[in-house]
């Protein structure tokens, strides 16, 4: 007799633009909940990252990079120890998400939300964390889809989160870059990190207990390691970097005196 499928007690859908966006945005929270048989994780990628950088000597071509990065993404979640229960590739062209006809991306994400009805939806905020146009458009379309589906009266969709970097962390990282002779991140430039005011962060998850698993996953994105991390960073430094995940509460509205939450499902 086939064992019954476990009852889903908490679920999250993450919508991002490229492979590796997911490997740091919510990977720690997934790892922390990975042993829960009622946990469901749905991952949506707008593109396969085929327009990304190809470092000198890396065994990929412009034509093959998308397939390579899909494989790296699968390997990353296996290395972390918890693969998505459902993984959807929307197959848009990397770097051209902003050219998708108005409403089309939101329509496709809304259809997935209607099917899944997750408790929590996570995506990029208006800053895209790096200002990447694909990030910003994917986040905006997800927000539109979330509010549309939530308004239809169906179950769940209790929380919408935007991944974020705290301004205090951004400033600390920039100071370290300058001390070691590197250029500071300029938040006015595309592809450079940018922070949000600390008081805007509503959820801050301590992911240090699973930092080794996050780094194991990130390390599988071999084609983009030169973008993800500095070659001078030690394993211990890298683990400290991924020891926190921060989110802005895009919905429901948050009051200034609401307590800081420490888990993406806390207080639901």
pLDDT in tens, 101-128: 989 999 999 999 999 999 999 999 999 9
Integer Cα distance of 139 and 147 in angstroms: 12
Q: Does 217 fall in a domain?
A: yes
- Give the CA count within 13 Å in the CB-facing half-sphere of 137: 22
Q: How far apart are the first and last CA of the chain?
A: 35
Say how far apart CA 173 and CA 187 lie, in whole Å: 13
| CATH classification at residue 14 | 3.40.50.10320
**pLDDT of amino acid 246:** 98
- How many domains are there within the chain? 1
In a domain? residue 35? yes
78-97: average pLDDT? 97
Residue range of the domain that includes 60: 10-251
Residue 2 forms part of a structural domain: no
Q: Provide the pLDDT for residue 232.
A: 65
Read off φ and ψ for residue 70, nearest 5 degrees: -60, -45
161 vs 177, higher pLDDT: 161
- Residue 262 covered by a domain: no
| Rounded Cα gap, residues 77 and 32, in angstroms | 13
- Greater confidence, 129 or 228? 129
Mean of the per-residue pLDDT values of the chain: 93
215, part of any domain: yes
- Give the Cα separation of 69 and 48 in Å (integer): 7
In the three-class reduction of DSSP (H, G, I as helix; E, B as strand; rest coil), residue 184 is classed as coil
| 38 part of a folded domain | yes
- For residues 229 and 79, which has the higher predicted lDDT (pLDDT)? 79
pTM over 0.85, yes/no: yes
Look at residues 161, 154, 146, 85 and name the one whose alpha carbon lies nearest to residue 110: 146
Q: What residues does 114 pair with on adjacent strands?
A: none
Length of the chain: 268
Please indicate, yes or no, if residue 256 is contained in any of the structural domains.
no
**Cα–Cα distance measured from residue 66 to residue 159, given in angstroms and rounded to the nearest whole number:** 31
Domain contains 263: no
pLDDT at residue number 3? 54
Lowest-confidence segment of 55-69, 75-89, 142-156 by average pLDDT: 142-156
């Amino acid at each position: 007799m086939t064992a019954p499928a476990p009852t889903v007690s908490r679920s999250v859908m993450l919508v991002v633009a490229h492979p590796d966006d997911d490997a740091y945005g919510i990977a720690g929270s997934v790892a922390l909940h990975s042993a829960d048989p009622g946990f469901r994780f749905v991952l949506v990628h707008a593109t396969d990252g085929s327009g990304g950088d190809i470092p000198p000597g890396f065994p990929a071509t412009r034509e093959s990079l998308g397939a390579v990065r899909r494989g790296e993404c699968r390997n990353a979640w296996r290395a972390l120890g918890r693969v998505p229960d459902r993984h959807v590739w929307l197959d848009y062209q990397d770097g051209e998400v902003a050219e998708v006809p108005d409403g089309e991306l939101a329509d496709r994400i809304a259809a997935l939300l209607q099917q899944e009805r997750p408790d929590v939806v996570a995506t990029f905020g208006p800053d895209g964390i790096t200002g990447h146009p694909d990030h910003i458009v994917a986040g905006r379309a997800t927000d539109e889809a979330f509010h549309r589906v939530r308004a239809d009266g169906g179950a769940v969709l209790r929380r919408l989160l935007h991944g974020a970097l705290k301004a205090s962390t951004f400033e600390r990282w920039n100071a370290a870059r300058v001390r070691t002779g590197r250029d500071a991140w300029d938040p006015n430039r595309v592809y450079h990190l940018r922070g949000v005011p600390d008081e805007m962060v509503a959820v801050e998850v301590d992911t240090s207990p699973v930092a080794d698993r996050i780094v194991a996953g990130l390390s599988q994105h071999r084609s983009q390691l030169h973008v993800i991390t500095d070659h001078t960073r030690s394993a211990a430094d890298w683990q400290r970097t991924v020891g926190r995940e921060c989110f802005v509460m895009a919905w429901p509205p948050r009051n200034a005196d609401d307590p800081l939450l420490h888990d993406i499902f806390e207080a639901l």
